[in-house]
Amino acid sequence: MAPKFKDGDVVFAFSGKWVSWVHTAVAYAAFLGALIVGVALHYHKIVENEYYGYPEEWFPSVSATIGDRYPERSVFMLFIAITSGPRFVLVGLWYLLTARPNATLPKFVAAMGLFRTLTCGGWTYVTSTDDHDWHDIFMISYLVGTLPWTLGCIALSPSSGKAVKYRKYLAGSFFGTLVPLIYFFIQHKVHKVAGAYTTYAFFEWALVLLDVAFDAVTALDFETFELVVKDVKGSSKGNNKIVADAVLEKEKDKQVNQVFGQAFSWSEAIDAVADIYNGFVFWSMLTSLGVLVWYFPLWHMGISGYEVMVMSTVSPLLLGIHSIRSLVVKNLRVCHFLSLAGLLAYQVKSPANRLFTVGFAVWMSCLSWAATWYSLAAQPGRLESKISAWTIGLIASSVVKFAWQTSNPIWPISHASNGGWNATGLLLAVLAVLCSTRTSPGSGSDLAIQGRKEGSSLLAGLGLAGLFFGLHSLLSDSSTMILWVWEGYPVRGPISAPHGAWTIAAMGAGLILGLFNEDIARSWTLFGIGSVGAAMLTLYSNWTGYYGALMLAVYLMAVAVPLIGSAARKSPARTFGIGFLAYNFMVLFHVWVVAYAFVPGGPLVREHTDWVMVATMLLIGCGVFSSVSSTPAAQRKRFNAYLNSRKQRSYYLYVLGVLQLLSVSIAYLRFPTYDYVPYHKDDKILTAGIWTIHFSLDNDMWSSEYRMRDVIKELELDVVGLLESDLQRIIMGNRDTTQFLAEDLGMYVDYGPGPNKHTWGAALLSKFPIVNSTHHLLPSPVGELAPAIEATLDVYGEMIDVFVFHSGQEEDPEDRRLQTEYLSKLMGATPRPAILLSYLVTKPLEGNYNTYVSETSGMHDIDPDDWDRWCEYILYKGLKRTGYARVSRSTITDTEIQVGKFKIGEKESDIAEVRNARINEDQVPEGMRFPQIFRGEGVRGHQYHVFDEPRYYA
């Protein structure tokens, strides 16, 4: 037992401040020792990166210094091992200094300190060479743990003295350094700027020095522990006032204290997580409905009748009938359980029945949420909790889609073999409903104070329509608005990963604004700012357009709080019922602007996404008008009734914070590596393919990207053009298959004309760097717009132009003639070798074919003897074509894959007979042959067909 003395208690075995100094000295020795040894022994190797070496790059990064080279790696590992001892003691002393009875924060900060120590050991001793994935997991975990550790230490610092000042300076410098660090990393990785990595390295080293220095400040705090760590000031008993106390005392009458100045409750935290998961399930079902509906007109090539299922959302209209409203409000648990039928839909094999199952689930889900909000109008705290759950559920859905490259693992188009987690999602949903519906809604006896009659119910419903549509069409996937502003290479704006995390951060910031300052959220000033953002997104591209997108994201999330809260205090049938009804018309409106050639009245709204955006903001304006018409007296009553319940908000904000950290981690993991290698670089072969992917829905209504990936990989395609690839609309689930394919296959990607360009999509994937790309919308005076990508690739050091093109429909011959002339002149204008991957809608040697293959274009048909073609064609010039194959589609889509092989560095013959002379496969070098697995019956329904084997050319 430790001896006690009148002037203090013995707490530990030696002076506390020396723990900090030893920790600091040994930690710096680990990094600086490795740097000195590395520069001395391997300078030119450690400053070299994948693009440049000395003298363009002249200073090594931290990772290169402490990485896999001996002996600097060993120096680093040795000193880090020594550092672990004082590190554990430092964390322990900090806890002893800050711990107080019934205080949770010191325990949490200490846990974060231990977590960071352990994960530091993880990324130190598991190198990227040993296991790249686990190295990254440990590194990301360490970085994520830095934020709560840093903020927690500042909050627990003694409120007076130099320590807190130093911590604030060092923490501000640390987080401020992240901005230029990320900027120069992008300059290096994306733009390949010489010297950018050296600048990045300086900021990376600054992070290391600042991180260690932040913990060194504890030397000032630990002076209170003398000799065998004797506590002479009583600090370890919690007697000193800390920064958090001072802040909370000053802010005790403000919302911050009312939210965070409460004891932590695990049961309430679990309730919040359950509520949010219910919100996530709602958004998962709603976003899947459009995909299932889209399957039917897609295969019918026109209106099928199944489109009526979009009206599944109007179930809140039933709440206008008193008996039904009372029944639903009293049985919300049952209603929520019935809505989970959508999570079971993946077990239904029939596409029609699966659609009906999900339609029923959406019907019950909309009814349940509307009744929930209505029933809680008299309880502002619980109402806000449910609104928070619903909106954070949307953010959770976006984070999950960000992690799954725009897919959702609990969608009914997913199953185990294509990335689905349906059973897990269902189990969690059942637990969430059981947990979140334990408390019954209020009796409604005090609804009068809520101002239920204030403002127009109709205007409130129209406001909800604009809100629901804006959230669904723009924010249900973090990359939607990024693809609105995408204009091709070189990159001049955001990319889906990592910048999807920016969209998610803006959503979180908007929600916090709406929760903490509802008056600003419902103000006309913020409405004006949101409208400016909408205009910038609609009218501008690249960064300017994206800044507008972020403004709009903040606004939509902020205004959701007052609009839903206002609607809940009115007739649910006239607010939520009319809201979802008008939302459905907005969904159809935004489909009509692109599907105008196939729907009645379509030409009237052709290509008018601007009208859709204006209508959205006008509808939200109706809701704002209804919301601000509430009297100040009624608002004051609601505020006073809410104060006692405000602490519940903190748990929802904790979950929101976790989701933001997850999005940052996902962005890091998904950052493009740009180290892609073609399949046959030694033979200098380029293998190119064209495929119409039918919006990534297979014949049985399953998401098809996994099956597409497999066949593209097995065909060893270096370059592939994808048509009917634009999925960034509500009816297609706001997806982007190209993200999954590019990241999984290791390819550069150009998404093509964005979803606001009103095409069905054309995309390009390439193993070779895309030096430049331009998007074209070809003349289409009558029918659907014809998209094209003109890209220049760096293929084994030679610039090759690749065109990806989707022609207009058979029913519009004048459109196709104009498009033929446009594209032929475009191809003829390039002096470089070129390949066309296309969907032409013409017969070989007839009509427009003779313009595509002509002196105007300079292009040759990959196989003039292949008479059995109508849609897909591959043309080329300036290259030696060595092979051609046609591969069946299986059940993935309605169109085959056409593949061509080209020898880079060799020209085609000017004599047609010589150019088109065929040879046997045994005359072709092994590296220039097509894969054997597609011969005969092939694999998974894919086989060489039409000719039953590839064709090779001399």
* 42 is annotated as an active-site residue: no
Q: How many residues does the chain have?
A: 954
How would you classify the pairing of strands 880-887 and 951-953? antiparallel
Exposure of 360 in the CB half-sphere (CA atoms within 13 A): 14
In 320-421, alpha helices (H) = 322-330, 332-339, 341-344, 351-375, 380-403
Radius of gyration of the chain (CA): 31
Distance CA(642)–CA(258), nearest Å, equals 11
- Tokens found for residue 317: 């209209």
Give, as one character, the DSSP assignment of residue 576. Answer: I
Amino acid at position 838, single letter: S
Of the listed 23, 499, 806, 860, which one is catalytic?
Answer: 806
User: How many angstroms from the chain centroid is the CA of residue 547?
Assistant: 17
Distance CA(577)–CA(319), nearest Å, equals 8
Distance CA(432)–CA(9), nearest Å, equals 48
Distance CA(366)–CA(355), nearest Å, equals 16
- Tokens found for residue 496: 């889906």
Amino acid at position 221, single letter: D
Handedness of CA 533, 538, 541, 546 (dihedral sign): positive
Q: Which residues on adjacent β-strands are paired with residue 778?
A: 786
Task: Map residue 297 onto helix, strand or coil.
Answer: helix
CB 699 within 8 A of CB 891: yes
Distance CA(418)–CA(406), nearest Å, equals 13
Query: 724: closest CA among 689, 698, 692, 751?
Result: 692
DSSP string, 133-184: HHHHHHHHHHHHHHHHHHHHHHHHSBSSSHHHHHHHHHHHHHHHHHHHHHHH
What is the rounded end-to-end Cα distance, in angstroms, of the chain? 91
> For residue 323, with 0-12 CB atoms within 10 Å meaning exposed, 13-18 middle and 19 or more buried, which class applies?
exposed
| Active site positions, annotated | 806
